[in-house]
Amino acid sequence: MNYFNYYTEIEDTFIRRRGKHLFLSPLDWALMEAWQERGIPLHIVIRSIESVFDIFDKQPPGTRTIKSLFYCREEIEVQYNEWLSARVGAAPDEELEIIDSGWSENAVVDHIKNAIEVLDRNPRPELREDLDRAIARLEEFLANMARDPETIDSTLADVERLLEHSMLANWEKEHLTLIEKEVASQLRGYKAEMTAEAYDTTYRLMLLRKLREIAGIPRLGLYYL
């Protein structure tokens, strides 16, 4: 399974089983980011979503609908833990998944160059110093670009973290407080069912997603190519 189809495959599976076309919520995207960052394999997430809907489809009509990936999270955790237990004792060098990026070097170069142009045009003065630092890092990386997708994606993630830190540190305080309250409001209905760690991770991912949208900061990872 193509590593970089992670989000698309999850989205397509959920929408297919949901039975209605819908847009995933910021919470759903934050959950997918958290699962990917933790290294939960795509096939575990897909299988768990299918299992949740298989059980739901057997319930009487009128039962509440599954409106979010949030309702699949417990099954994903269970199946992931079972998978981890089954991996105990496996050879360290055993290949768990075959990763095939499917992209040409030219496509990656164009992706990075486009990001540089977008960052260079960004009009927000409070971010300018870090925008220039990010541009310098990307230009240096282009001049000495690695060949394997994992190294490329890891480097781009480092630049993304620089920009995320800059937004959190330099955003106008009153406006940031309003955005934080908006994100907390979106999560309020789910907080009681989440661990503190899961809530904090999801909250941060949703907040950063909102800040990127407002500031016009592009995503740099190869998934967004």
Task: Tell me the pLDDT tens digit for each residue of 21-71.
Answer: 677 888 999 999 889 888 888 889 999 999 998 888 887 776 667 888 999
For 63, phi then psi, to 5°, come to -65, 145
Q: Report residue 90's pLDDT band, with 50, 70 and 90 as the boundaries.
A: low
Q: What rounded mean pLDDT belongs to the chain?
A: 86
Q: Can you give the pTM of this predicted structure?
A: 0.75
pLDDT recorded at residue 64: 65
Could you tell me which residue, 25 or 206, shows the higher pLDDT? 206
Angle between helices 26-38 and 196-215 (to 10 degrees): 120
pLDDT recorded at residue 21: 67
